[in-house]
Structure 1
Amino acid sequence: MNALSSSLVSVVDFLNGMLWGHVLVYLLVGTGIYFTARLGFIQLRQFGHAVNILKNGKEAGTGISSWQVFCTSMAARVGTGNMAGVAVAITAGGPGAIFWMWAIALLGMATAFVESTLAQVYKEKDADGQYRGGPAYYMEKGLGQRWMGTLFSICLIVAFGLVFNAVQANTIADALHHSFGINEKVLGGILVAASAFFIMGGIKSVAKASSKIVPVMAISYLVLALIVVVMNISALPAALSLIVKSAFGWTEAAAGGLGFTVAQAMRSGIARGLFSNEAGMGSAANIAASATPNPNHPASQGFVQMLGVFVDTMVICTASAAIIMVSGVLDMGTEARGISLIQLALTNELGAWTQYFMAFAIILFCFSSIIANYSYAETNVLFLSGNKKGGLLPFRVAVLGMVMFGSVASLPVVWDLADASMGVMAVVNIVAMILLSGLAIRVIKDYEMQHKAGKVPTFDPAKFPELNGVKEDAWTGQLASSKE
């Protein structure tokens, strides 16, 4: 049995090393460059328009609004990784890692735009009138390859629905146990009860909760970061200069006298950015499909999800980097890494009370991720069951069981398994996106042409012959002929 476990660990380690060390970095970067070029740097050209769409997307006539979907996807994206992960990137690759984190986020905005647009194009209504969709749906309906959708769904359910939720619960329980001495089993029970309250209400309940929690947690953390930066404003120009110089190897020493190569900076920054903003992985596209966008056109939600990548990396991760860079902790020769480096910086600048703030932030970040991750997985459970809801209750019980398990257990091997599942999921999604890229580009350009002509963009599926064979057209409510 031990030999079998050892072999499994070796296989998972090899798969993760191959996927995250080589394959996915090149695939995601290449895909981002491709879509950025095909769309004419739409993430820069139409940034202001995207902000306007988000501002106008707080209400939906029926279903879930674009604002609620934005908050739900942010709830899943934003977690302790935006704090601890940035600190790890800097200590592993130097300050230059921040520059490459920004670069991959810029490219990822175009990728997120495309996958969310496709999710909207191929969405469908379930028995309750709720929109469902995502990569599994566009793999089946757009490519006619249900096996791809099945593989994607299984990987997402394992990674996001089960393991990542256990990891988030583990983070909350560990932080509160060490800060306040609360028993992990008691914490686990509280987390299970709180999660059940939202999860049992389904995707609409999750969306409503996220729209309340996410703004509070993000704004609170950004305010704290801003205070630290203002207190050390004189150090900001030098910090920005160091980030740029380190990114291109123009400085031989950084971060306490330690030298970092350009390759180290690129590897750390790109990996941090990809893990954080999820662009191209297909996860956020699941919730993107559930929106009733305003204007009511698939590309409209693409603009909104594009902003999610920007806020996650360019705003929240940058806030973490700023706290570290201007506080001077890197020059102290500290052994602190990850979240402890952020805590050290905050404690030095603002005092010991910040440990309570960090505990509060961790609770909000991780709990919101639990319920948002569930929403991603729910859509894929329904895909596998053919939109029959009989399997939802057992799945919800399994999710709550993993929350309890994560609160009291150590999870290193399980975490590695989740990374492997997420890696396979991302590869399958990227292949599908490339194969459907022609349609996605034309849908986005259709939106831009209507907007440029002064019209409120609306979607007419008849303009796109590829959609004639789709079984259910969520945009017109009419049934088209089945794809043979």
Structure 2
Amino acid sequence: MQFFDTIFNLINDLTWGWALIPFLVVLGVFFTMASGFVQFRFFKRMFGVLWGDEDGDPTKISAREALLVSVGGRVGGGNIAGVAVAITAGGPGAVFWMWAIALVGMCSGLVEATLAQAFKRTTDEGDYRGGPAQAIIYGLGANYRWLAIIYAVCLIASFAIGFNAFQGNTVAGAAADSLGIPRYATGIFLAAATGFIVYGGIHRIAKASDVIIPIMAIGYIGLALVIIVMNITALPGVIWDIVANAVGIREAVAGGVGAALSNGLRRGLFSNEAGLGSAPNVAATAYVRHPVSQGITQSFSVFIDTMVVCSCTAFIILLGDVYQPGQADVDGVILTQQSMVDHVGAWAQYYLTAAIFLFSFSSIIYNYYLGENALSFMTANKNAIHILRIVIVFIVLLGAVAPGATAVFNFSDPMMGVLAVVNLLALMMLFPIALRLINDFRSQLAAGNKRPLFDPKKFADLDTDPTAWPDAK
């Protein structure tokens, strides 16, 4: 075991520790500038997905459903605990850099989702599948299949297995601490609910997310808005603290701007997953008229995750009296929980437990689908999918009932690091194609077409699936 720990720690250092975060930032800035700041140009258009502007065939996964599934995956423990950790380690200035990386990440999210849509395939059941693995094969060619396989293996190991163990552990721990519910009871309930949803496939996952995510988001954001209104006179001072600490006018923690920058960027990227290659697997399932339409939707998902939900947690903490600059070794969930209690009373700890359950459960079913999609790319054997479903249910149960067992899954972060490196390499090579698609979308809008249509015949040099674009007929 010591040998494997050494290997995984080395991989983690070579990815997250050294180069990956600067790589994500630089590439995101490049995409933003090369695309003409596309995430800002299309910002108003993002909200249309909420009203069903892209709805079409009712038997397919809609753009709105794909948005909610991806929001459910992006929004998780990082939005509650991760933001608190970033503030503790980097001071209020970390929030500013979380916002900054989200605005850049919105473009990375748009590019990777656009490519996933462009190279998606129609399944035997009439659904759509795609993602970075398929984009590598059909966009770069069969010679790069080895790269796609590395991606798929890392996706299963990190998200479907490792992160789901941690999600089960998070829910069970919160329920035991605040409600006194035994871990095994929470684990059995969570495993049963997971099994019921994942055995319904992507359609049941989408329908569940369509119910869970609005409740989760509205509930959490609603309470945050109440707290903000209660402390409205202190809000300008908090915003000034965030900016002042970010640019070095004021230092809240040792390390100053450097601590704020590093913690803000790291937690922001961990939270919104832009450029990591996970959300495009869900983006590819949606029925849309043009690949860029879903790219815009996934850009909106990044905005919701960081600019809305993470900001809510930040204001809950910074508007209260619990957080003290420079404090160390504070559990993120506890800081958020105590801050809520400080604002509205003891009942808030139970409210947060419910929020954690919804956040974590939505992440579990999202993580499962990422694993299913990666496995379907590697093998057409239907039995493999059933085995994966059984494994995921067991993993969730194990993570919930055996807190110490989650140490076995410490390979998740290094595997996600490799996953991100592979995805970013593919994005760099495929970006010219994404830019062609973005320009095609823009030209149609300029010509007066309010709902641009992708025509595979206009991109005959690309290995697309014409059956995935029925509107082009």
TM superposition score normalised by structure 1: 0.93
Whether 1:24 aligns to 2:46 is no
Whether 1:161 aligns to 2:160 is yes
Q: Is the 8 A contact 1:91 1:337 kept in 2?
A: no
Q: CA deviation at 1:114?
A: 0.4
- The letter of the residue matching 2:109 is A
- The letter of the residue matching 1:243 is I
SS at match of 1:250: coil
Equivalent residues in 2 for 1:313-352 (5 A)? 313-331=306-324, 336-352=330-346
| Identical columns (%) | 44
Q: 1:116 to 1:141 in 2, by over 3 A?
A: same
Give the equivalent residue in structure 1 for 2:444.
450
SS at match of 2:452: coil
Whether 1:43 aligns to 2:36 is no
Q: CA deviation at 1:242?
A: 0.8
Q: Give a deviation string over 1:10-56, Cα, whole Å, max 9, x none.
A: 22122212211221101110110011001111111210012124422
- The letter of the residue matching 1:297 is H
Q: CA deviation at 1:7?
A: 2.2
Whether 1:292 aligns to 2:287 is yes
SS at match of 1:454: coil
**CA–CA separation in structure 1 for the residues paired with 2:145 and 2:64:** 31
Q: 1:54 to 1:117 in 2, by over 3 A?
A: farther
Q: Is the 8 A contact 1:136 1:383 kept in 2?
A: yes
Aligned residue among 352, 355, 358 for 1:358 = 352
Structure 1: where are the runs of 5+ without partners? Answer: 479-484
- The letter of the residue matching 2:12 is N
**CA–CA separation in structure 2 for the residues paired with 1:220 and 1:476:** 37
- The letter of the residue matching 2:401 is V
Give the equivalent residue in structure 2 for 1:434.
428
**CA–CA separation in structure 2 for the residues paired with 1:299 and 1:344:** 42
Q: CA deviation at 1:465?
A: 4.0
Q: CA deviation at 1:364?
A: 0.6
Q: Is the 8 A contact 1:176 1:182 kept in 2?
A: yes
**CA–CA separation in structure 2 for the residues paired with 1:333 and 1:17:** 26
Q: 1:126 to 1:352 in 2, by over 3 A?
A: same
Q: CA deviation at 1:178?
A: 1.9
Q: Is the 8 A contact 2:91 2:325 kept in 1?
A: no
Q: Is the 8 A contact 1:58 1:68 kept in 2?
A: no
- The letter of the residue matching 1:265 is A
Q: Is the 8 A contact 2:228 2:316 kept in 1?
A: yes
Q: Is the 8 A contact 1:87 1:342 kept in 2?
A: yes
Give the equivalent residue in structure 1 for 2:94.
97
**CA–CA separation in structure 1 for the residues paired with 2:44 and 2:345:** 38
Equivalent residues in 2 for 1:228-307 (5 A)? 228-252=227-251, 254=252, 258-293=253-288, 296-307=289-300
Equivalent residues in 2 for 1:38-437 (5 A)? 38-57=34-53, 59-61=55-57, 62-144=59-141, 145-252=144-251, 254=252, 258-293=253-288, 296-331=289-324, 336-385=330-379, 387-409=380-402, 410-411=404-405, 413-437=407-431
- The letter of the residue matching 2:124 is A
Q: CA deviation at 1:318?
A: 0.4
Q: CA deviation at 1:378?
A: 1.1
Q: Is the 8 A contact 1:94 1:260 kept in 2?
A: no
Q: 1:53 to 1:272 in 2, by over 3 A?
A: same
SS at match of 1:83: helix
Q: Give a deviation string over 1:424-478, Cα, whole Å, max 9, x none.
A: 01100110111011011010110111012111311112222431x45x4344579
Q: Is the 8 A contact 1:9 1:413 kept in 2?
A: no
**CA–CA separation in structure 2 for the residues paired with 1:332 and 1:248:** 16
Q: CA deviation at 1:272?
A: 0.6
- The letter of the residue matching 2:269 is L
Aligned residue among 8, 33, 44 for 2:29 = 33
Q: Report which stretch shifted further, 353-362 or 457-466.
A: 457-466
Q: CA-atom RMSD, angstroms? A: 1.7
Aligned residue among 459, 469, 472 for 1:464 = 459
- The letter of the residue matching 2:458 is K
**CA–CA separation in structure 1 for the residues paired with 2:323 and 2:105:** 29
**CA–CA separation in structure 2 for the residues paired with 1:477 and 1:452:** 23
Q: Is the 8 A contact 1:16 1:416 kept in 2?
A: no
Structure 2: where are the runs of 5+ without partners? Answer: none
**CA–CA separation in structure 1 for the residues paired with 2:293 and 2:342:** 44
Q: Report which stretch shifted further, 299-308 or 188-197.
A: 188-197
TM superposition score normalised by structure 2: 0.95
Q: Is the 8 A contact 2:165 2:406 kept in 1?
A: no
**CA–CA separation in structure 2 for the residues paired with 1:476 and 1:346:** 48
Give the equivalent residue in structure 2 for 1:482.
none
SS at match of 2:126: coil
**CA–CA separation in structure 2 for the residues paired with 1:273 and 1:36:** 17
**CA–CA separation in structure 2 for the residues paired with 1:11 and 1:277:** 27
Q: Give a deviation string over 1:343-382, Cα, whole Å, max 9, x none.
A: 1111111110111101111111111111111111111111
